[in-house]
Amino acid sequence: MTAIIDHALVPGTFDPITFGHIDVVRRARRIFPQVTVAVAASIGKRGGTTFTLEERVDLARAALAATHGTEDVAVLPMTGLLVDFAREQRAGAVVKGLRAMTDFEYELQQADLNFRLDEELESIFVMSAPRYGYLSSSVVRQIASFGGDVSEFVPPCVATALRARFV
């Protein structure tokens, strides 16, 4: 008999966390009784990250604590392989949001690799809510870097952090 999965990870760089990310977390929380947001160190990310790992963890915690339906979601920093982190956390699934075909191709490759490393780790994909289909952290960072208003795309704590970073 196959075990029921009661803990899922929502991994990502979250540089910064957006309303699109929060939507995926909220939907994962509706499916699984325990959800952990795994904020990846992303050491090899081209150009680095705008916020440090610690800042991204803090912003994600603050954003989720202030969002109905995600208040009880854990947020942890993650270094190393996702499959190893999933084992450490005793999580049986990874939940990823998909916006477009390009997301699907990338996420399918990642899911295939994760399966090769751990056949017990399930990959679950949720389609982006239409209002977030265009939204990405990189777009938010670009708008903020030019002094644009990002309050439509991110929680207030994130908008404040972005304004402070790009002043």
Query: Of 21, 56, 61, 141, which one is the catalytic site residue?
Result: 21
3-state secondary structure 22-44: HHHHHHHHHHCCEEEEEEECCCC
Amino acid making up residue 25: V
Per annotation, catalytic residue among 27, 61, 96, 137: 137
Nearest partner of 76 among 7, 136, 124, judged by Cα: 7
- Let me know if 128 is a catalytic residue: no
Task: Tell me if residue 96 is catalytic.
Answer: no
Of 69, 113, 73, nearest to 89 (Cα)?
Answer: 73
Is 21 marked active-site? Answer: yes
Q: Which two tokens stand for residue 102?
A: 């390009």
Residues 6+ apart with CB under 8 A from 117: 81, 83
Phi/psi-derived region of residue 16, left when phi > 0, alpha when psi is between -120 and 50, beta in every other case: beta
Selected catalytic residue, list 45, 131, 138, 151: 45
* Residue of 158, 160, 118 whose CA lies nearest to 21: 158
* 116 in catalytic set: no
Report the C-alpha gap between 39 and 138 in whole angstroms: 16
Catalytic option among 99, 123, 163, 165: 99
Query: What residues are annotated to the active site?
Result: 21, 45, 99, 137
